Chains A and B, each alone.
Chain A
Amino acid sequence: MSHPTWASTALLLALVAPCLGAVFVGLGRARSERWAGRVALTSAILFSLALILAWLARDGEAVLLGDGANAGMLAPRLALRLDGLSLPFALNLALVAILSLWYAQDYAVAHPRSFHGMMLLFVASMLGALLADELILFALFWEGMLLTSSLLLLRHSHSPNAEAVTLRYFVYTQAGSLVLLGGLLWLAVKAESTSPQLVALWAQQNGSAIPWLIPAALALGFLVKMAIVPLHGWLPDAHAIAPMPLTVLLAAAMLAMGGYGLARFLFGMLGTMGAVLQTPLMVLAIVSQILGALMGLASRDIKRIVAYSSISQMGYALLGMAACSSEGLAAGLMHIWSHGIVKSLLFMVIGLVIAATGRRETSRLGALGKRLPHVMLALGIGALAISGLPPFITFASEWRILLADLASTHPALVVLAFVGIVLTSCYALALLGRLAWGSAPESSEPLKPIPRSMALSTLVAVILLILVSLAGHSLTVWLGGLVASTTGGGA
């Protein structure tokens, strides 16, 4: 047994904090419902602090807890690892969790205790999957992520189609999880270990002995989570019916998990084996990028427009990773990271519009530039950022992705991605145009007041986006260094 250190104890605390928060929320029957929200937010802040503390107190390149290398096939052990690859994703999760739970303080949900408790378990599952240093443990947390999000969708959606949509979401993602689990188990059996480090070592020495079906299964499982076309069928409806704080978590944090999986297990663990899928991955990425943007343009529901944009943006990220170079991988991960902040902001703003007007169809919204100027300003910032305009951080990640892909073996294919960039601007600015300057609807009702926590958390998201964009260069260098230290400088 390895001796616990300050860093490893803080790491365990980071994982335990949201779980304990969920228990407290569940037990707080006698307290007010507002209390549940505050406990949830405090838990998210605590886990974020513990995470930062663990990283700062580390001794070496990673924080380790437990020893996954000694795990047997049928006796998985708790082994956690916070390294250069998981840290950016964990920080993104912490940021998005705090924003969404803050936003949820005044958000109207039917059962606040159950909602906040389950949100914390959802966050804990994602964090567990990011930190898991053992394949079976990773699969368990992955499953927990699916179950908690399904329950949240089912219980807290106001839609009459909640059950059908949840079932679709569950079937899609569960099918992906099973394929992924199959791939991981097959790999573990061949490598005779469930430790990602040992499997990676084995893969380096026996690359030719790995059947192509294993990387294909891993890719399939993670692509479902990233909602890459044609595996995206679960996303639009799930995002559309989910309560807004959950939508923020789904879009800004859960989709990123697919990207993390690809980076850690396909390109990180299997190394060059991941490159056998380069061409299909690039094609899927470009199709997702273009089709997601076009579907966003076709949609008439403001929440669905932003939901479709997630498909398109994940296409960008996959395009970067599919370059199969360390530059492409770093650029793809940076895009996922920046997408988390931008998408949180966009969904939060859409939530404000819906809260103020009670509407979400573009045909029934318009002329909000004068009625909700601050909200429209925030939407404008989000729309310009998602369009990849300078000086926003998305511009930095996008040109790095494109440069990495132009240097790959398929530069002609990448030229199509430039079409996707134009279409991205089309749907984002069209949304802004319709809402801010479109003609006012005939039956215009007085606007409802926007709840304070929703407005404040959105303001913080705007400030964060600007700060992150200003620090774009430092962040790029930092993320690139972290990724290179974890993947050994090559994808």
Chain B
Amino acid sequence: MMVALVAPILVPVALALAWHRWGHNRRLIRILWIVQLLVAISALALAWRATPLTLALGTTHWGHPAHLVLSPTAGVLIAAIHLAMVIVFAAPTWRPNADGPPTPATSLTFILIGASCAALLVDDLLLRTIVLDLASLSVGLILLAESPAPTPLGSVWPYLLLHIGDIAFLLLALWLDLTTGTWSISQAFSRAIGLSAGPRALAIAAALLAAACKLGLPPFDGWLRRAATLSTPHRIMALGAGPPLLGAYLIYRLKDLLIGDPVSKAILIAIALLCAAYAIWRALRNSTVDLSDVLVLHGALGLFAPLVGWQRGYLLCFLPVRLAICWLIPQFAGGAVETPAARAELPNVLQLLAAGAAGVDAAFASLANGLGTLSRRLGAAMQRVHSGKLRRNLLIALLALPAILLAMLASLWTGTP
């Protein structure tokens, strides 16, 4: 039982290493795919247990007993992820004229799957933050390996956008620990419902920001648009089983908190409407539909789902729908839906901020030369006094110190002050 709980995390990682090292050994890879299929079936079987399966991981550095918990929903999602992996990657290896050499992006995709499964299983706020960040980093590296951006900043920009979500989740984790007194996700999320308005607002804001970044909702959709340019198998896994699924899962876990009061419900509706309207407006603007706009629209629907009580259904259908969007629609839409071309995502906001900071820096530099006329004159006078003699003057000052220290040392041994 316990092996079945750890296997969804470890098998993809082992597969990543094997793929990287022995990718040409078809027999070994096929055996690993069969193991992968067994993992999917066992996860599905365990999801039907009456009580969630739990595995103690020991006490964390921050003094909390961490667990892996397989809830029914997480079990179905994990089974779906592993089945999708088998369909997308394993099936083609049985073709007679199958694939070329293994690529780093594929190994990284398997690591992403391991991180996603860990995020679905782990019941500790800080551990969840760590695996979320690992998943973000994997997506950043997959993009770097397969679809590098024309600009260097563009290469790291997708990861940075996802990282904003990780930081927001870190804020949520720390805040929930402080206000609810536990690092356990299940306990913290259920206790958060009883928080007063102020602490509750901060928790909701952090959760929404984290979910928006992971789902790739505007204005954090830059990473999603880049990921949509990946090759089909990597695109499906990055956008179906990666951060967006984790964002949808966060919304699902926090649904009671998010729709608990009229204000947060109104905010949720407003964000969902704006994101959906933005995606539809972009889609209608051109003669063909950009695939990433379809994905944004699907993400926005995730915010609507808890409002109408469809959250669980939305989540359980998440991966099949994404599989259809990323794989089937471009195949059968006859060119009406296009995958976007790779382009530089220039972080204009950052450049603007950096330019402002450069101005502030210049102001500080002039301030450093003297505060006002008086200081400038004083500085100039000092420069004149020391001109060409600064080293000598510093040396003279330095020589005074050993004399004092030697006198003090002598007094220590003689005992006289």
List residues of A whose CB falls within 8 A of some B CB: 1, 65-66, 70-72, 75-78, 121, 128, 137, 140, 143-144, 147-148, 150-151, 154-155, 163-164, 166-168, 170-172, 229-230, 232-234, 236, 291, 294-295, 297-299, 366, 387, 389-391, 395-396, 399, 402-403, 406-407, 411, 415, 418, 421-423, 425-426, 429-430, 432-439, 472-473, 476
B residues 324-361 in Cβ contact with A at 8 Å: 347, 350, 353-358, 360-361
B369 touches A297 (CB 8 A): no
Residues of B within 8 A of A423 (CB): 353
Q: Which of B61, B137, B159, B369 is in CB contact (< 8 Å) with A472?
A: B61
Closest to B60 in A: A473
List of A residues within 8 angstroms of B152 by Cβ = 366, 430, 433-439
A168 to chain B, nearest CB (A): 6
Q: Given contacts A171-B379, A407-B178, could you give 7 more A-B pairs where the C-beta distance is less than 8 Å? A: A78-B412, A154-B391, A168-B368, A390-B130, A423-B353, A429-B156, A434-B152
- Give the docked Cα–Cα distance between A128 and B408 (Å): 13
CB of B231 closer than 8 Å to a CB of A: no
Q: Does B96 contact A (CB under 8 A)?
A: no
Pair B133/A390 contact, Cβ less than 8 Å: yes
* CB contact under 8 A between A418 and B160, given known A147-B401, A294-B353, A295-B357: no
Interface residue SS majority, chain A: helix
Name B369's closest neighbour in chain A (CB-CB).
A168
**Smallest CB gap from A391: residue in B:** B130
A-B contact pairs, 25 of them (CB 8 A): A1-B415, A66-B412, A77-B417, A78-B408, A78-B409, A137-B408, A143-B397, A147-B398, A163-B390, A167-B379, A167-B382, A167-B390, A168-B368, A172-B368, A233-B364, A295-B358, A297-B353, A403-B177, A411-B178, A415-B202, A422-B167, A429-B156, A429-B160, A437-B144, A439-B152
Specify the chain A residue showing the minimal Cβ separation from B404. A140
Q: B residues within 8 A CB of A390?
A: 129-130, 133-134
Q: Which residues of chain B have C-beta atoms less than 8 A from A77's C-beta?
A: 408, 411-412, 417
Q: Are B61 and A147 in contact (CB under 8 A)?
A: no
A147 contacts B397, C-beta separation under 8 Å: yes
Q: How many angstroms between the C-alpha atoms of A295 and B360 in the bound complex?
A: 8
Please determine whether B133 and A389 come into contact, CB atoms closer than 8 angstroms.
yes
B175-221 contacts to A (CB < 8 Å): 175, 177-178, 202
In the complex, A390→B124 CA distance in Å? 15
Per DSSP, chain B at the interface is: helix
- Nearest-CB residue, chain B, relative to A383: B156
B367 and A140 form a contact (CB under 8 A): no
| Interface presence of B113 (CB below 8 A) | no
Q: How far is the CA of A233 from the CA of B362 in the complex (A)?
A: 10
Q: Do B155 and A418 have beta carbons less than 8 Å apart?
A: no
Q: A425: which B residues are within 8 A, CB to CB?
A: 160, 163
B395 at the interface (CB under 8 A from A): yes
| Cα–Cα, bound, A172→B356 (Å) | 25
Are A437 and B148 closer than 8 Å at their CB atoms? yes
B401 to chain A, nearest CB (A): 5
B367 to A233, Cβ gap below 8 A?
Answer: yes
Q: Which residues from B are CB-within-8-Å of A435?
A: 152
CB-CB under 8 A for A415 and B171, given A391-B130, A426-B160: yes
Does A143 lie within 8 Å of B401, measured CB to CB?
A: yes
> Are the C-beta atoms of A298 and B175 separated by less than 8 Å?
no
A418's partner among B156, B171, B354, B391 (CB-CB below 8 A) is B171
Inter-chain contact A297/B163, CB cutoff 8 Å: no
Chain B, residues 133-175, CB within 8 Å of chain A (1/0): the string is 1100100000010001001111110011001100110110011
Query: How far, in angstroms, from A430 to B156 measured CA to CA in the complex?
Result: 7
Contact (A399, B174) CB under 8 Å given A390-B130, A438-B152: yes
- B383 adjacent to A167 (CB under 8 Å): yes
